[in-house]
Structure 1
């Protein structure tokens, strides 16, 4: 089966997402499957060429098209193209990654695109069980074609360092943007200092100078911010040195999280909001995922976990939900649902 994947960006393009590269690679390594559209600086434009049109089209984040250059024109083009693809018998698969648009400027348009995709797609995949409820709210008639699949991950644990020295209680890592809740967390710590000393390492670049300035203004002494993008090898040393990875995402729009899965891939214990895949994995006995409804609960999570003697089985979970297994399950599902 020939498959077209959106967005397939050039490696040097802005907003290049490792999820997409891993997604395409895993499909190409699956028997009888070939992704036929090559990377392009404008991934929507590349779909207009007949040679890039496979039997099945898989769309990720298509609803964010209004945020791209000439976004309104591209959005109209995307809608007309997808309607055309349906009419000529192509199969449409949509991955629902967020429960709400992140962009306040194009919120209504992006929400409309989500409803459009929920309606017109043959199959909807979500990496969070809560995603099924989101589809229900978008259009109840689409629930029957919505399937939950674990977010694929990797096993990066390698040789486990016995009893590593914990330099920090909390590690916040990854690129920083508004919906990730870093500013809100920093302000909270500034206004409500922890009762016991808590050392926090924050590592990641911020794309907004305004947001970066606001974070810096409120940064308490116990938070160290390295404005760097660590390699995965460097990241392992930071995770080994932290008691927890903290992911303070705002719960309003997040369903699944690649940052969560990457953290788990190193065997990290994770603290995150009680929503989406964080909530799913908090009940997963093989993993150490802890959730909060309010930032004030983080301190008690740290304290309680010190006495937590639970044993986890990260390698089994990571190996069962790796990219190879995910690609095979996805193709089996597409063949079952769409043929």
Structure 2
């Protein structure tokens, strides 16, 4: 069965590879969106289109953004006119790219209206969709985000962390403004030698990399690894942290693959109550979670959670390891990609039979 799953490849995000691999194992032939119009025969052969992050618009400048918007608008109109089933995965509350928000909002509204099914990875998404009406809410299908156990090499757990009084924190992922790294660096800087923060990830552009590097240098207890961490090294990078800290923007963030990555390698997180965290249920107690309504409250709430983590490590050096182990066991069961793709396969088959 020929389908479009877009993007079919993402070198910086194993999420795509996990799902595509399982779909291929079930007999699906996966094609990128760019081939949709390559020939009449190919166009007719495509039975279904599944889009991820399609609402994101390149906002590096207006003309590039306009071109991106018009191209996506044309594609989604053609998909609509073709009558082919459309599936969209809702990854965020809104696009993180704020510069040309009108373009992104327009594409999102069309995806909400024209998608036959909307895949959601957190229960918070249901509330957001309900605000768009009952018909939109009825399209939602919950599917856990797949875990990453074993995907970044073997798990290691260096015992030397237990002997350090200093709290070792890690931020990893693309270094982008919505992730509040400036705020994180400022808060961590206030703790001096009680905390060591490592920021590991490639910046969205060189200007932003320099901004973060300058801030990190001013703090004095922040190490910057300003490059994409190879898969073979990620396990070791995670092993060197007591916890992963993710001070995301609640206005746009909903799900976090990085939080799932942390759990997959036995690490707890310090993170706002985005959908991924809220879905943990009783296992929320194994994380340092918080809420905030503005930047100043975010600063205070993040600082409070870091302070609690410092105190916990001093009181019981292995406590965070136990929290991470429980989270690992939870995602190993509830976020298994093979079980998840059974749900996706059922959705596809139901839509194609229509």
Question: TM exceeds 0.5?
Answer: yes
Helix, strand or coil: the match of 1:254? coil
Contact 1:130 1:276 in 2 (8 A): yes
Q: Residue 244 of structure 1: CA displacement?
A: 0.5
1:298 aligns with 2:305: yes
The Cα shift of 1:19 comes to 2.6
* Residue aligning to 2:160: 165
Aligned residue number for residue 317 of structure 1: 331
Q: CA deviation at 1:173?
A: 1.6
CA drift of 1:9 comes to 5.3
Which of residues 99, 103, 111 is equivalent to 2:93?
A: 99
Partner of 1:33: 28
Q: Please state how far the C-alpha of 1:74 moved relative to its aligned partner.
A: 4.4
Which has a greater percent of helix?
2
Q: Which residue of 2 aligns with 1:3?
A: 3
Tell me which moved more, 77-86 or 54-63. Answer: 77-86
The secondary structure found in structure 2 opposite 1:291 is: strand
Match of 1:62 in 2: 54
Alpha-carbon distance, 1:159 to partner: 6.2
**Aligned ranges for residues 279-290 of structure 1 at < 5 Å?**
279-281=278-280, 283-285=281-283, 288-290=286-288
Contact preservation (8 Å) 1:118, 1:139: no
Alpha-carbon distance, 1:319 to partner: 4.7
Cα separation, 2, equivalents of 1:250 and 1:257: 11
Instruction: Measure the CA separation in 2 of the matches of 1:334 and 1:233.
Output: 34
Q: Secondary structure at the match of 1:64?
A: coil
1:46 to 35, 47, 51: 35
**Secondary structure of the equivalent of 1:260?**
helix
Measure how far apart 1:83 and its partner are: 3.4
- Structure 2 counterpart SS, 1:63: coil
Q: Which of residues 111, 123, 126 is equivalent to 2:120?
A: 126
DSSP 3-state at the match of 1:165 = helix
CA distance in 2, matches of 1:272, 1:6: 29
| Number of residue pairs aligned between Structure 1 and Structure 2 | 325
Q: Contact conserved, 1:268 with 1:288, CA < 8 A, in 2?
A: no
Note the alpha carbon deviations across 1:164-193, whole angstroms, 9 max, x for none.
Answer: 221652111222111111112112334xx1
What residue in structure 2 maps to residue 335 of structure 1? 349
Distance 1:248 1:262, change over 3 A: same
How many Å separate the matches in 1 of 2:155 and 2:79? 49
1:67 offset after TM fit, Å? 4.4
Give the structure-2-normalised TM-score.
0.81
Separation (CA, whole Å) in 2 of partners of 1:173 and 1:33: 33
Identify the residue that residue 186 of structure 1 maps to in structure 2.
185
Q: List alignment gaps of at least 5 residues for structure 2.
A: 292-300
TM-score of the superposition, structure 1-length normalised? 0.84
State the distance in 2 between where 1:148 and 1:104 align.
27
The aligned residue for residue 144 of structure 2 is: 150
Could you tell me which residue of structure 1 aligns to residue 296 of structure 2? none
CA RMSD of aligned residues (A): 2.9
Q: CA deviation at 1:249?
A: 1.6
Q: 1:10 Cα deviation (Å)?
A: 8.2
Residues 208, 326 of structure 1: alpha-carbon distance in 2 compared, 3 angstrom cutoff:
same
